[in-house]
C-alpha cells in the first residue's frame, strides 16, 4: 500500500481552520507520529490548506489531505484521502461530491495517490454528523454491515470509525477490527490522554488524534509515546 499506510499506528489530524503556533506545529511534526492528516468539517479553504501544508513541509513527517472541499484540493500532499460517508443521509457525501470532483479532474488524477476511506460517523453531535446528516444511532450490526461494505464490497483501504469529539465504544471498535479482511481500521474521537490512546490502540489499527492538539498539547503529544509503547 501507499506510504506504508499499513504501518501507521498514530496520526495527528490538523484543522486548517484552527490556529496553531509554529512551536506547537514543530512539536507535532517531530513527535514521532506516523503522519499528519490535514482536514476539517467546516471552514476549510484553498488558502488555509496551502498555508498549513507549507508549514508542515518544513518537516519530514508524511502529510496527507483528507478531502472535504473540492475548492480546497491543494497539490503537493503525499496522499489524498477521500471519505465516503457510508451512513450519510445526504448522498452528496457518499458519491455526490466525488462525482463533481471526478467530472473536473478524473482524467488527470494520479490514482496512486488516492485512498478511499469508508467512513462511519458515530457521534450524532459532531460537526461531521451535522454536515453529512449522518444516521449516527447505529447498533453494532449496522456498524459491522457498513464495515464489511467498505472492506469487502468497496475494497476501501481504510475503514474509519469517526466518533469526533467523544471517546467511542472500544468493544465495538475491536469487534470491527476483527472482521476486516484487508482494510485498516482508523479510529478517531476523544483521544486526549495517553490512557485513552492505549485503549484505542488496542482496539483499532490506527489512532487519530485531533481536538486534543488544540485543547491540551502536552497530553496530545503524550499519546504518541503511549501508542508506540503499547504496540
- The annotation status of 41 as a binding-site residue, yes or no, is yes
Among 120, 196, 210, 224, binds ligand 1GP (CB under 6 A): 210
Residue 18 or 152 having the CB closest to ligand 1GP: 18
Tell how far CA 66 is from the center of its chain.
7
Residues composing the chain: 231
Within 145-174, which residues bind ligand 1GP (CB under 6 A)? 162, 164-165
Q: How far is the CB of 16 from ligand 1GP (least distance, A)?
A: 13
Residue 148 or 196 having the CB closest to ligand 1GP: 196
Rounded to the nearest 5°, which phi and psi values hold at 171? -65, -45
Angle between the 140-148 and 170-179 helix axes, to the nearest 10 degrees?
A: 30
Angle at 93 between CA 89 and CA 96, to 5 degrees: 110
Cell 503537493 belongs to which residue?
76
- The annotation status of 15 as a binding-site residue, yes or no, is yes
Residue number of the CB closest to ligand 1GP reads 188
Q: Which stretch binds ligand 1GP (CB under 6 A): 49-57, 72-80, 151-159, 203-211?
A: 203-211
Among 184, 190, 201, 203, binds ligand 1GP (CB under 6 A): 190
- The annotation status of 141 as a binding-site residue, yes or no, is no
Residue 45 or 152 having the CB closest to ligand 1GP: 45
Among 13, 97, 184, 196, binds ligand 1GP (CB under 6 A): 13
CA distance 2 to 105: 21
Q: What is the dihedral of CA 162, 174, 62, 126, to 10 degrees?
A: 10
Q: In this structure, what C-alpha cell is assigned to residue 73?
A: 484540493
Q: Could you tell me if 179 and 161 are in contact, meaning their C-beta atoms sit under 8 angstroms apart? A: no
Within 212-231, which residues bind ligand 1GP (CB under 6 A)? 212
Q: How far is the CB of 112 from ligand 1GP (least distance, A)?
A: 25
With CA atoms as reference, report the closest residue to 177 among 134, 207, 216. Answer: 207
- First-residue to last-residue Cα distance in the chain: 20
Q: How far is the CB of 87 from ligand 1GP (least distance, A)?
A: 15
- The annotation status of 13 as a binding-site residue, yes or no, is yes
Measured CA distances, 44 to 16, 26, 66, 97 (Å): 6, 21, 11, 15
- The annotation status of 146 as a binding-site residue, yes or no, is no
Using CB under 6 A, count the residues that bind ligand 1GP.
13
Binding site for ligand 1GP (CB under 6 A): 13, 162, 164-165, 188-191, 208-212
Amino acid at each position: 500500500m501507499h506510504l506504508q499506510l499499513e504501518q501507521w499506528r498514530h496520526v495527528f489530524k490538523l484543522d486548517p481552520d484552527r490556529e496553531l503556533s509554529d512551536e506547537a506545529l514543530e512539536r507535532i511534526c517531530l513527535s514521532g507520529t506516523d503522519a499528519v492528516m490535514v482536514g476539517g468539517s467546516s471552514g476549510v479553504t484553498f488558502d488555509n490548506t496551502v498555508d498549513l501544508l507549507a508549514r508542515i513541509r518544513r518537516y519530514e513527517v508524511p502529510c496527507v489531505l483528507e478531502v472535504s472541499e473540492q475548492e480546497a484540493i491543494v497539490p503537493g500532499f503525499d496522499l489524498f484521502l477521500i471519505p465516503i460517508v457510508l451512513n450519510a443521509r445526504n448522498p452528496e457525501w457518499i458519491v455526490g461530491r466525488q462525482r463533481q470532483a471526478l467530472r473536473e479532474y478524473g482524467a488527470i488524477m494520479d490514482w496512486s495517490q488516492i485512498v478511499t476511506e469508508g467512513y462511519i460517523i458515530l457521534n450524532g453531535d459532531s460537526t461531521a454528523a451535522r454536515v453529512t446528516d449522518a444516521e449516527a444511532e447505529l447498533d453494532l450490526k449496522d456498524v459491522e454491515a457498513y464495515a464489511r461494505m467498505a472492506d469487502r464490497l468497496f475494497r476501501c483501504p481504510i475503514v474509519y470509525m469517526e466518533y469526533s469529539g467523544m471517546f467511542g465504544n472500544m468493544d465495538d471498535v475491536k469487534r470491527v477490527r476483527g472482521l476486516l479482511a484487508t482494510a485498516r481500521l482508523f479510529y478517531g474521537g476523544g483521544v486526549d490522554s495517553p490512557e485513552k490512546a492505549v485503549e484505542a490502540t488496542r482496539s483499532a489499527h490506527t489512532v487519530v488524534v485531533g481536538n486534543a492538539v488544540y485543547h491540551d498539547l502536552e497530553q496530545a503529544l503524550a499519546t504518541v509515546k503511549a501508542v508506540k509503547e503499547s504496540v
